[in-house]
Amino acid sequence: MPAEVKTHPANRHASLQGATFSFQSETDRVEGIDKAFDYRGDVTLTLSNEQIEGYIFNRDAKARPPRIEVFVKGSEEPRIIPYADIMAIAFTGKDTADGKSWEAWVSKKESERKAEAERIKAEAEAQGHL
């Protein structure tokens, strides 16, 4: 975890939404960028000379220099940003995946399967097959 992480108390366990990562080392920066890439919401990037808000849709840690691609709010063209230019990342947008865990998906699908089985059973009974 990056050396300095501040989170909003309400979101501490559910999501990174509201967290801010400041970097003390290159390892911190890479870890923060990885988390931002996996995040399903907008982030605010503090760069060496500006702040931008957008959605990180691609990263290339093996490129020279390593870089991310961002859909910047208010711009039609994606922007390429070298890792080294990123000083901090704030998870400012709504996390659209929050609460959508694997367990929640499995539970929802199981409920849908049970409902479908009941519907098929009712149809079969109505037709005199059961």
The CATH number for 75's domain is: 2.30.30
Q: Which domain holds residue 60?
A: 4-96
Say whether pTM exceeds 0.85: no
| Residue 24 sits in the same domain as residue 83 | yes
Q: What is the pLDDT of residue 97?
A: 66
pLDDT tens track, the chain, 130 positions: 444 444 443 333 447 888 888 988 999 999 999 999 988 889 999 998 999 999 999 999 999 999 999 999 999 999 999 999 999 999 998 876 666 667 777 888 899 999 999 999 999 889 988 7
Which tokens is 78 given? 């994606």
| Residue 73 sits in the same domain as residue 125 | no
Secondary element (H or E) of residue 120 = helix 102-126
